């Protein structure tokens, strides 16, 4: 290859690079990340908790114990809903603010083995009471009809509030 060929080849490569750079700069759109978009669309929420508490059914507990914000009542559902939605949860907001409530419930048999779990989330207004049916997924045999052996004798609650 001659010098003339090298000069021509180098000039073409240089021109292609400059042209590509010009086109990229002209048509480039600003990149918006999902977190930046989320921050623009939703005001920052403040998370309260997580709080944890043990309970039995039926029982009422305050969350958190030291300075209650919610009163949670847990009861067994009626006979017809026993197998699908075994626990009725009644949560009362003791505060003057609205929250998004996210909670998980874990059920333990008398041997201390975790045999069921369920989760739910909902919005609650100031000084409002919300009644929910909690569906628990259980690993107990389908033929087991005793509540304590099918879903648990002791339960563990983990709860978070978002403002």
Q: Alpha-carbon distance 100 to 47, whole Å?
A: 9
Overall fold of domain 45-162: 2.60.210
Mean pLDDT by 10 residues, the chain (163 residues): 72 67 54 40 77 95 95 84 75 96 94 93 97 88 78 93 94
Q: Alpha-carbon distance 160 to 84, whole Å?
A: 25
Give pTM, 2 decimals.
0.68
pLDDT of residue 38: 40
Q: Alpha-carbon distance 10 to 29, whole Å?
A: 30
Q: Is the peptide bond preceding residue 58 cis, with omega within 30 degrees of 0?
A: yes
pLDDT of residue 149: 80
pLDDT of residue 65: 93
Domain chopping of the chain, boundaries: 3-30, 45-162
């Amino acid at each position: 290859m001659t010098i003339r060929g090298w000069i021509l080849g180098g000039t073409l490569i240089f021109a292609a690079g400059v042209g590509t750079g010009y086109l990229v700069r002209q048509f480039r759109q600003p990149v918006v990340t999902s977190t930046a978009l989320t921050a623009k669309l939703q005001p920052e929420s403040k998370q309260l908790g997580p709080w944890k508490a043990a309970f039995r059914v039926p029982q009422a507990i305050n969350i958190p114990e030291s300075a209650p914000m919610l009163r949670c009542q847990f009861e067994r559902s009626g006979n017809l809903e026993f197998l699908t939605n075994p626990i009725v949860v009644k949560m009362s907001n003791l505060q003057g603010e609205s929250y998004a409530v996210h909670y998980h419930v874990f059920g333990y048999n008398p041997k201390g083995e975790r045999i069921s779990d369920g989760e739910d989330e909902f919005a609650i207004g100031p000084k409002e009471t919300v009644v929910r049916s909690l569906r628990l997924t259980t690993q107990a045999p389908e033929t087991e009809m005793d509540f304590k052996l099918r879903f648990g004798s002791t339960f563990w609650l983990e709860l978070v509030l978002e403002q």
